[in-house]
Structure 1
Amino acid sequence: MHCNKFERLVSALYRCTRSAVCGAARSGVCGAAVRGQRSVRLQRSAAVWSPCQTASCHFSTGASSKNTVDPDEVRRFQSLAGKWWDEQGEFAALHAMNDLRVPFIRDNLLNVHRARHPGKPLAGLRILDVGCGGGLLTEPLGRLGATVVGVDPVEDSIYTAQLHASYDPDVRDAVSYQACTLEELMTEGEEEQGAGQFDAVVASEVVEHLADLETFAFCCSHVLKPGGSLFITTINKTNLSYALGIVVAEQLLRIVPSGTHDWEKFISPEDLERLLESNGFSVQSVQGMLYNPVSGAWSWTNSTAINYALHAVKLSDDPQPGRAEESGPHPEHHGAATHS
């Protein structure tokens, strides 16, 4: 009941947010945001993917090399590294999100990998959890039978994850953690866990904190096996996501710490899909998600205006521009996946 009322409220906000937000920001904030969004889309549309010419998976744009890590984001999460497992604290919404994201990952993987292992449905699968933080998603995937590697550039978060896993025999042998970036993992040991070593890559609430999404997409494709799955949950780039995700969630209700998100880093499902397809992925499903701060619960919704979950599959070992389009008709990827 609470969820239905909240979803109706969000729908009403969605209808009026554009005029309300712009009206409240005539000084130029809204105009700058819209211009920035248009600029980003134009840049992405004009960008041409090119393979890495060095082993470091860095992309040269202008005079600088880019990687996935934003130092400001690392410093921000460093200050929160000891709070990951406080279910009533700053990461309460992420704890609650497991009710959606764990079944979303599990069910889509089972649709791809038909094998059934009673009690351990993901047994035999190797999963990389990018930006794992304290292991909030890593551990549940390990309990489902997968071998999970969690990576995060914040060393104290990795220490928190290792310490928490050490107390639970059900996950202790299933998960492992490394304090490194995705591109460092890709290059540090090709034989051990480099190219094509993972059945799935998970990046939940991560891409909105990254410095370079092109590098991220390439590296994800590199570490995945052909046919491997990429799972992303993130925030859409809309006026409604600004109003609810930043103004309400951070500044008014304090659901997450102030300054956690930068609206300019948000990405729409359409832009994310184009980016992934240019790096050899086929997007299978995109599903809207909605958080109710009253009940503290997440639910699936038909609208992707705020949060959404995406599942994509790697098509080949050699992504090239247009490869996704040449591979044949796409599946109906905007329908809801099977959830439980």
Structure 2
Amino acid sequence: MLRLAFGLLAESSFRCKLIQVVSSDVKPVRSMCSWTVCAHHRQRNQLSNGLQHANVRRASHSTLDPAEVRKFQAMASKWWDLQGEFAALHSMNDLRVPFVRDNLLSIHGMQQEGKPLTGLRILDVGCGGGLLSEPLGRLGADVVGIDPVEDSVRIAELHSSHDPELGKKVRYQACTLEELAEEEAEGFHAIVASEVVEHLADLDVFASCCQQVLKPGGSLFITTINKTRLSYVFGIVAAEQLLKIVPSGTHDWEKFISPEDLERLLESVGFCVEAVKGMMYNPLTGAWSWQQSTPINYALHAIKRKEEPQPDRVCPENENLEEPGRGTSYS
């Protein structure tokens, strides 16, 4: 991350603008709160006006944040523009697809040559236009992509229709996670929620629903943004206001969550966190890379416990295992 910071600050015009914006807009960093306190802050955002679009699903006691839905409703037609607002998500596939594949293979083993995820059922929460659903389907998984924005789902269906093989492996549904949970108890081997949790109204509901729809021993994969000074400066000030990597207003720093708080939340509903890895985006190259620390973006892999934990051992904490993608580091 420091390499990126020094590279950006090397430009004097950028430096002056960055200092000006940060000095006036940067928010004070509060001490790391427990997940219950974070939930209290999130619930305040849930009390907003009703949905203004007829083609957006409604739900009560929901993960759905109407303001966030409206943002993505406005961008629904741009999911497959490789140079547009979602360019960084396209390039993120270079990290997140292998992260999901390799961790699933370490649990389930190779199922079929060329289609290693054959036989596995994966839920893509907040699938958008299908940017992650499609490559997982091409790896052989049976993928269900869900999103509350119906226009995004239609874009995903249209794009996948150009590949007849995907029609057999990937299907989409316009709904919320809690709506699906009513029908799909323990129906999936894995859930992916990539760049989603920072847009939700209620992470407690999200975690409980993930636990409900996963099979015992199933995997939950999350990529999101840490809640730090650097995440505000580079995730919002630089990415949105200066470099215009994503539209202004895409992210709300108050909704970011640290890996420590996310791990506590997941463990409280029956998960063991197996891996947390830092991620870095370089706007000059448009590429992502893995990092040992997690000051901005990070990826997390958790597993639903198969049985009630023993009193003396709930989850392995910070075990730096020598397997790909495993071990936890927050430094």
Equivalent-residue separation in structure 2 for 1:285 and 1:333 (angstroms) = 9
Q: Secondary structure at the match of 2:302?
A: strand
What is the match of residue 149 of structure 1?
A: 144
What is the match of residue 62 of structure 1?
A: none
Q: Secondary structure at the match of 1:74?
A: helix
* Residues 1:41 and 1:186: Cα distance change in structure 2 (over 3 Å): closer
Q: What is the count of residue pairs matched by the alignment?
A: 299
- 2:200 maps to a residue whose letter is L
Contact 2:216 2:306 in 1 (8 A): yes
What is the match of residue 16 of structure 1?
A: none
Structure 1 segment 178-217 matched on structure 2, within 5 A = 178-187=173-182, 189=183, 194-217=184-207
What is the match of residue 287 of structure 2?
A: 297
Query: Does residue 252 of structure 1 match 2:238?
Result: no
Residue from 75, 79, 101 that aligns with 1:106: 101
Equivalent-residue separation in structure 2 for 1:30 and 1:325 (angstroms) = 40
What percent identity do the matched residue pairs reach?
A: 62
Q: Secondary structure at the match of 1:30?
A: coil
Residue from 27, 30, 40 that aligns with 2:27: 30
What is the match of residue 330 of structure 1?
A: 316
What is the match of residue 56 of structure 1?
A: none
Equivalent-residue separation in structure 1 for 2:219 and 2:9 (angstroms) = 32
TM-score computed with the length of structure 2 as normaliser = 0.83
Equivalent-residue separation in structure 2 for 1:141 and 1:42 (angstroms) = 33
| CA offsets 1:296-315 (integer angstroms, 9 cap, x no match) | 00000112000000000000
Equivalent-residue separation in structure 1 for 2:310 and 2:209 (angstroms) = 17
Shift of 1:204: 0.1
Shift of 1:332: 4.1
| CA offsets 1:130-167 (integer angstroms, 9 cap, x no match) | 00000000000000000000000000000000000011
Structure 1 segment 1-340 matched on structure 2, within 5 A = 5-6=3-4, 9=7, 24-25=23-24, 30-31=27-28, 34-35=29-30, 38=32, 43=37, 66-187=61-182, 189=183, 194-316=184-306, 323=309, 326-328=312-314, 330=316, 332=318, 338=324
* Residues 1:104 and 1:178: Cα distance change in structure 2 (over 3 Å): same
- 1:160 maps to a residue whose letter is I
RMSD of aligned Cα (Å): 2.8
Shift of 1:169: 1.8
Q: Secondary structure at the match of 1:244?
A: helix
Shift of 1:43: 1.7
TM-score computed with the length of structure 1 as normaliser = 0.81
* Residues 1:109 and 1:8: Cα distance change in structure 2 (over 3 Å): farther
- 1:116 maps to a residue whose letter is Q
- 1:30 maps to a residue whose letter is K
Equivalent-residue separation in structure 2 for 1:265 and 1:335 (angstroms) = 31
Contact 1:285 1:335 in 2 (8 A): no
Shift of 1:170: 2.7
| CA offsets 1:264-323 (integer angstroms, 9 cap, x no match) | 0000000000000001000000000000000000000112000000000000377xxxx4
| CA offsets 1:60-94 (integer angstroms, 9 cap, x no match) | xxxxx631000001111000001000011000000
Shift of 1:251: 0.4
Contact 1:21 1:243 in 2 (8 A): no
- 2:23 maps to a residue whose letter is A
Equivalent-residue separation in structure 1 for 2:175 and 2:291 (angstroms) = 34
- 1:185 maps to a residue whose letter is L
What is the match of residue 15 of structure 2?
A: none
Equivalent-residue separation in structure 1 for 2:113 and 2:172 (angstroms) = 26
Contact 2:39 2:202 in 1 (8 A): no
Q: Secondary structure at the match of 2:116?
A: coil
Equivalent-residue separation in structure 2 for 1:152 and 1:100 (angstroms) = 22
Contact 2:272 2:315 in 1 (8 A): no
Shift of 1:171: 1.2
Structure 2 alignment gaps of length 5 or more: 11-18, 41-59, 326-331
Structure 1 alignment gaps of length 5 or more: 13-19, 47-64
